[in-house]
Structure formats: structure tokens, C-alpha cells
Amino acid sequence: MSFEWMAWTMPTAIFFITIACLLIGMTIWQALAPSGEREGFLPIITTPGDRLFIGLLSSAYINLAWLGLTSLSLWFAFVIAVIWMIVLMRWG
């Protein structure tokens, strides 16, 4: 029986390490200085953890849509996703 293992390239490792660091950082931040819920431009009341989750999920959709709809470099989608995360965390 043969198993196919995922090829862990450097960009893949950086991607997952970054997400892990974001989650750890958010956990530490909320443990040291808990923040309450608030309503921004999102139609729901959210905490910073909620906005981080929504931002990560929507950033994945931005990248998937970019891959499916354009033939341009994925770096453009990365820049858009980072800007979206900043806007969402600040005003979402």
C-alpha cells in the first residue's frame, strides 16, 4: 500500500505558519486585553476573533476566485486579501 504525501514547499509552510501565528497572537492578545463585541460595517456584532475568522475565510475565497477567474499572478490576490484583512479587522 502506497501513500501520497503532500509536498511541503516553502510557500506552503510559510502560509500555514503565518495562520498559526495569527491565531496564537489573537489568543494571547485577547487573554491579556479582552475586547468586547462591536458592530462595524458587517451586518452582525463581532469580536476580534470573529473578524479574524471571517477575514481568513474570505481571503481564501478571494484567492480561489482569483485563480478561477483570471490568469494574472496570484500575488495580486494576496495583496487584495491582505488589504481586505486590514480593513475587516479595523472597521468590520
What's the whole-model pTM score?
0.77
Phi and psi angles of residue 8, each rounded to the nearest 5 degrees, phi first: -85, 100
**Among the listed residues 21, 84, 28, the one whose alpha carbon sits nearest the alpha carbon of residue 56:** 84
| Tens of pLDDT, residues 38-90 | 898 989 999 888 899 999 999 999 989 998 999 998 889 989 999 999 999 99
Query: Which of 23 and 9 is assigned the larger pLDDT?
Result: 23
Residue 1 has pLDDT above 70, yes or no: no
The full set of domain ranges for the chain reads: 10-91
Q: Are 46 and 37 in contact (CB under 8 A)?
A: yes
Q: Which residues in the chain belong to E strands, given as ranges?
A: none
